[in-house]
Amino acid sequence: MHKLFFLLILFLAGTTGLCASEPPATEVRAVWLTTNYGLDWPRNRTSVETQKKELTGILDSLKRYNFNTVIFQVRGRGEVLYRSRIEPMSTLIASAGPGQPLFDPLAFAVEECHKRGMECHAWIVTYPLGNDRHVRSLGARSIVKKNPSLVKQFQQEWYLDPGNPRTDDYLLSIVKEIISGYEVDGIHFDYIRYPDNRGRFPDDGMYRQYGKGKTRDEWRRDNITRFVTKVYDEVKALKPWVQVSSAPLGRYRALGGNGVGWTALETVSQDAGKWMMMGKHDAIYPMMYYKEGLFYPFVDDWLVHSNGRIVVPGLGAYQMIELGWSHRDILNQLEYTRTKGAHGKAYFRAENVLSNTKGILAELGKYYRYPAKQPAMTWLSDSIPNSPHDLRAQWNEEGVFLILPILCTV
């Protein structure tokens, strides 16, 4: 009896230790907060106040579980969620009413994230523009209507043409509008790729004009890399502290016979490993929504190509619904990426985590017991700031404890 009891204690100690180990002090804990179709937000379109309450509720929940990064979708397919001179506001955003200022979702999201000590990264869908019906719904402000020379239709969907150098200028104008007007912590690109290299994207004319002896695959990869280089340099010239990142396909390249058929490099002209090796990305959030042999070796491959940059594997929380994964599948991936020295995790998408799908949120609470710092972008600056001094501490009128500089008067 005593021997059995002793073995039971050892077993319990071993199993609880898996989750009880100290979490890293520095770690990205992110969610993609999807606004396309109102998947995560906004669910209700009745009023601005209702939409604000919905969003603060999401952020409160993320803060409660020590998440520190919100990747907030600010551009869908040719429409935006901020005050733009370039593209129309999403029809999902409620009207503020007669005589009231237009609700600015990005400004509100940035302010509310920062109140909670979380970073807010502006998530941009890069090249896709939607189908005919969606384009018509945007009216004369759609780029398809304003400047049809920049777009192509492929498999009943419209896309900005990556092969046209003037497309870079259009996208850069959107990025500069966001960077200049908002205190975002990052610019994050999604769909920064061709739709599918196995199809016949209609770029024959551009290829004849600009191909210059390259194979079509080489030329297409270079087109995306050209834009990545321009946008990185532009962001760093304006606000060097703003992180530039993207969400490439989860498998960078085929590894031997593994992963063939759907990779960033070979299938959609997305040479994301090169972007890091060139120093034109601060972070990569690959969409690694696979299991086992289609996950673990590809994490290692991203880390090989990181060049010291931040690697944050994207975990497919939604697959617990779509493919019947268990929460243990997600937790195994979390544990592996920690062991391998990845810089954190991002979850697609917010609702699949916050609704506690198959108990995932409760389990993540064990791994995220304490807050975590953001990884430093040491390639921008490796100097350590001076220690703070001349500070005072006080409670404000709202009962918040503040640390403030001592102001000298003459």
Q: Tell me what pLDDT residue 406 has.
A: 66
Q: Tell me what pLDDT residue 348 has.
A: 98
Q: Tell me what pLDDT residue 410 has.
A: 46
Q: Tell me what pLDDT residue 385 has.
A: 66
Q: Is residue 104 very low, low, confident or very high in pLDDT (cuts 50, 70, 90)?
A: very high
Q: Tell me what pLDDT residue 353 has.
A: 98
Q: Is the pLDDT of residue 151 over 50?
A: yes
Three-class secondary structure assignment of 152-164: EEECCEEEECCCC
For 329, half-sphere exposure in the C-beta direction (CA atoms, 13 angstrom radius) is: 21
Given a contact cutoff of 8 angstroms between Cβ atoms, the answer to whether 170 and 164 are in contact is: no
- Ordered DSSP codes for 304-370: HT-TT-EE-PEE-TTHHHHS---HHHHHHHHHHHHHHT--EEEES-HHHHHTTGGGHHHHHHHHT-S
Q: Tell me what pLDDT residue 196 has.
A: 81
Identity of residue 273: G
Q: Tell me what pLDDT residue 168 has.
A: 98
Q: Output the average pLDDT for the chain.
A: 92
Q: What is the mean pLDDT of residues 329-340?
A: 98
385 preceded by cis ω (within 30°)? no
Identity of residue 29: R
Q: Tell me what pLDDT residue 19 has.
A: 52
Percent of the chain with pLDDT over 70: 90
Q: Compute the distance between CA of residue 190 and CA of residue 176 in angstroms, rounded to an integer.
A: 17
Q: Which tokens sit at 214?
A: 């390259």
Q: Compute the distance between CA of residue 284 and CA of residue 297 in angstroms, rounded to an integer.
A: 16
Q: Is residue 94 very low, low, confident or very high in pLDDT (cuts 50, 70, 90)?
A: very high
Tell me which residue of 264, 261, 305, 258 sits closest to 281, measured CA to CA. 305
Sheet holding 28-33, edge to edge: 287-288, 314-315, 344-347, 28-33, 69-75, 119-125, 186-190, 243-246, 283-284, 310-311
349 preceded by cis ω (within 30°)? yes
Helix (H), strand (E) at residue 120: strand 119-125
Q: Tell me what pLDDT residue 392 has.
A: 78
Least confident span in 40-49, 66-75, 254-263: 254-263
Q: Is the pLDDT of residue 14 over 60?
A: no
Q: Compute the distance between CA of residue 88 and CA of residue 351 in angstroms, rounded to an integer.
A: 26
Phi, psi of 401 (to 5 degrees): -85, 120
Given a contact cutoff of 8 angstroms between Cβ atoms, the answer to whether 311 and 342 are in contact is: yes
Q: Is the pLDDT of residue 388 over 80?
A: no
Q: Tell me what pLDDT residue 311 has.
A: 98
Q: Is the pLDDT of residue 12 over 60?
A: no
* Cα 335 → chain centroid: 21
- Domains of the chain are 24-380 (3.20.20.80)
Q: What is the mean pLDDT of residues 8-36?
A: 70
DSSP label of 98: T
Q: Is residue 4 very low, low, confident or very high in pLDDT (cuts 50, 70, 90)?
A: very low
Q: Is the pLDDT of residue 11 over 80?
A: no
Helix then strand count (H, E) for the chain reads 15, 15
Please name the residues in contact with 229: beta carbons below 8 A apart, sequence gap of 6 or more: 278, 280
- pLDDT tens-place string over residues 154-207: 999 999 999 999 999 999 999 999 999 999 999 999 999 999 866 689 999 999
